[in-house]
Amino acid sequence: MESWLFLGIILAKNQSLMIAAAFVLIMKLIPASRSFFPWLQGKGINIGVTIITAAILIPIATGEIGLRDLLEAFKSPIGWASGCLIFQGCRIDCF
């Protein structure tokens, strides 16, 4: 009962949380979904990152951002600073 209450409280926060909490609440109503929860818990972050990455790449796919824009970003001081920060994070996490 406590999990239902907690998920119900989350429903009132923001749209993303509302959708996620509603999805989990609906899944809790389906008895066969209990075996789905461990899979979703393990793969959910990867699925979410993939969806977010696809959303970020849409302007490139639609032509709103072109190669010239990307090259200009690499030339700017902010582009260099961002690249260095990302590289430093990758070095810490990857090596």
DSSP assignment of 7-36? HHHHTTS-HHHHHHHHHHHHHHHSGGGGGH
* 7 close to 25: Cβ distance less than 8 angstroms: yes
* Residues 3-14 pLDDT 10s: 667 666 666 667
Local structure of residue 62 (DSSP, 8 states): H
Average pLDDT value for the chain: 79
What Cα–Cα distance (Å) separates residue 68 from each residue in 12, 63, 75, 79, 84?
A: 43, 11, 11, 14, 21
| Counts for the chain of helices (H) and strands (E), in that order | 5, 0
Tokens linked to 20: 């996620």
For position 11, what pLDDT does the model report? 66
Provide the angle, in degrees to the nearest 10, between the axes of the packed helices 77-94 and 67-75. Answer: 80
Report pLDDT for 23. Answer: 87
- pTM, full prediction: 0.54
The pLDDT score that the predictor gives to residue 7 is 67
